[in-house]
Structure 1
Amino acid sequence: MDQLTLANPVFAAYAIAAAIMVLKGVAMSWLTVARMISTDSGLLNPEDLRNTPFNRNPSDVQLEPDERVERIRRIQRNDLENLPYFFMAGLLYVTTAPPLWLAQLLFYGFVVTRLAHFVAYFTAQNHEVRAALWTPGSLIILFLGGASLVAAF
């Protein structure tokens, strides 16, 4: 278990990358709420149309999809489809005692690709641009998982 402490520089690199991704993932929820408030739209549930101090003028229009809110939700869904695999594969990879330079390249490379993917998605870049930014991160996850599997055998 010495590998899973911050005294291990490989684990520290993983912890930094994972913490950044956790904060980014949670920030997406806050960004969704901020966008819903700024557009007064994007509510999901009928009960959200009750007259409350935060919704003084409820309207059925608030339940209609709003592209500005839905874009943020799609970005968050993409994170939820990718981040858990990174968390698991990255932690397993730490236990293989890889070279620090390679672990840092993979962990930080994943973070950079995810942040770049966010920018591309948020600014409505086309699918090819988003895919070009998503693919390296996905390949990193596959490498982390594959290297962990090989090391376990």
Structure 2
Amino acid sequence: MLYTLENPVFWHYAAAASVMVLKLMGQGWMTVHAMLSERAGWASPEDLKKTPLNPNPDPAQLDPNPRVERSRRMHLNDLENIPAFWVAGALFVATDPPLWATLIGFWGFVLARAGHFWAYATAQIHDIRASFYTVGSLLVMVMAVWSLSALLLG
């Protein structure tokens, strides 16, 4: 069976996909933490209602905040890239690829996303961030082409 933890290809997919779930969800929490600690960058007018989490609402809380906006952009980038990895990776497993291809594809993507996170979080130049994006994107595309080739060529 391809989709069991006894299959090392699927095991690596499940592990890498789980790491990416944590990255995606964790980035959302990082944005919330930034909003609360900066007391700015809140998203909607109703966020200015007095609550236990916002005991002293201030209209300035709706103003953009550089730290919050950076975290939001990182989260949006994850939302643009990680779901494609989940789909391409699951299809890739179905082709019963060699383990070496799995290790390169799955863990290469995870490392590329980690590098992208580092580059974004530390405000590196665009070229560095784009390099990590490119590696991850190409790996996902290779997995998709591999899967499509298996479908078309039998």
User: What is the TM-score of this pair, normalised by structure 2?
Assistant: 0.97
Do structure 1's residue 26 and structure 2's residue 58 form an aligned pair?
Answer: no
The Cα shift of 1:91 comes to: 0.4
Report the counterpart of residue 69 of structure 2 in structure 1: 70
State how far apart, in whole Å, the 2-side matches of 1:36 and 1:147 are.
42
Matches within 5 A, 1:86-105: 86-105=85-104
Secondary structure of residue in 2 paired with 1:3: coil
State how far apart, in whole Å, the 2-side matches of 1:36 and 1:146 are.
40
Do structure 1's residue 53 and structure 2's residue 52 form an aligned pair?
Answer: yes
- Paired residue type of 2:86: F
Alignment root-mean-square deviation, CA: 0.6
Matches within 5 A, 1:27-42: 27-42=26-41
Aligned length: 152
Matches within 5 A, 1:99-114: 99-114=98-113
Report the counterpart of residue 133 of structure 2 in structure 1: 134
The Cα shift of 1:67 comes to: 0.8
The Cα shift of 1:126 comes to: 1.2
Over the matched positions of the two proteins, sequence identity in percent amounts to 50
Deviations 1:88-120 (A, max 9, x none): 000000011111121111100000000110010
State how far apart, in whole Å, the 1-side matches of 2:26 and 2:51 are.
25
State how far apart, in whole Å, the 1-side matches of 2:113 and 2:80 are.
12
State how far apart, in whole Å, the 1-side matches of 2:78 and 2:51 are.
32
State how far apart, in whole Å, the 1-side matches of 2:142 and 2:84 are.
12
State how far apart, in whole Å, the 2-side matches of 1:78 and 1:149 are.
25
- Paired residue type of 2:142: F
State how far apart, in whole Å, the 2-side matches of 1:28 and 1:65 are.
18
Runs ≥4 in structure 1, deviation > 4 angstroms?
Answer: none
Report the counterpart of residue 144 of structure 1 in structure 2: 143
- Paired residue type of 2:32: V
Structure 1: tracts of 5 or more residues without a match: none
